[in-house]
Amino acid sequence: MKIDHELRLQILEKIGIYSNRFSISEPQILLTTKEVLDAPKEMTEGRRTSAYKYYGVSYLQHNLVFINVRKIPDEKTLENTIVHELIHMRFPYLAHGKRFNKLVRQGLKGKTFLRYRKRSKISVI
């Protein structure tokens, strides 16, 4: 796909919608490999020069997501990539696999994930 102003706005809108559904703060979004290389090295460390190989990359520590729009062939793949990367943000402890893929499918179907709730310690006397 070719990035233009309208597509950039559509992507940012989808990021906002899904971030809200997944109860996460909206990440900073990079849409070109140039933006990845222009970002501070400490933010994109680990997948800085190899990011171009992937449809998307999540940089969890910095609440940053790269969506490689030029590599993505169509809107369906774009939507899937957005949800995939935001599921990484919502469930950072979860590796790729059956459970991860199930969460991506649920996200695409409109499932809402509630915020984490801190468990309070209750003393019983």
Whether residue 122 is contained in a domain is answered as no
pLDDT digits (tens, 9 = 90+) for 10-34: 999 999 999 999 999 999 999 999 9
> Does position 93 have pLDDT exceeding 50, yes or no?
yes
Report how many domains make up the chain: 1
Mode of pairing for the β-strands spanning 64-67 and 56-59? antiparallel
The confidence score (pLDDT) of residue 3 equals 92
The confidence score (pLDDT) of residue 117 equals 58
What mean pLDDT comes out for the span 68-80? 96
Whether residue 34 is contained in a domain is answered as yes
- Can you give the CATH number for the domain in which 46 is found? 3.30.2010
Whether residue 116 is contained in a domain is answered as no
> Does position 59 have pLDDT exceeding 60, yes or no?
yes
* Structural domain that includes position 101: 5-108
Whether residue 125 is contained in a domain is answered as no
Whether residue 124 is contained in a domain is answered as no
3-state secondary structure of 20: helix
**C-alpha radius of gyration, the chain, whole number:** 16
Residues 6 or more apart whose CB falls under 8 angstroms from that of 47 comprise 54, 57, 59, 66
pTM of the model: 0.88
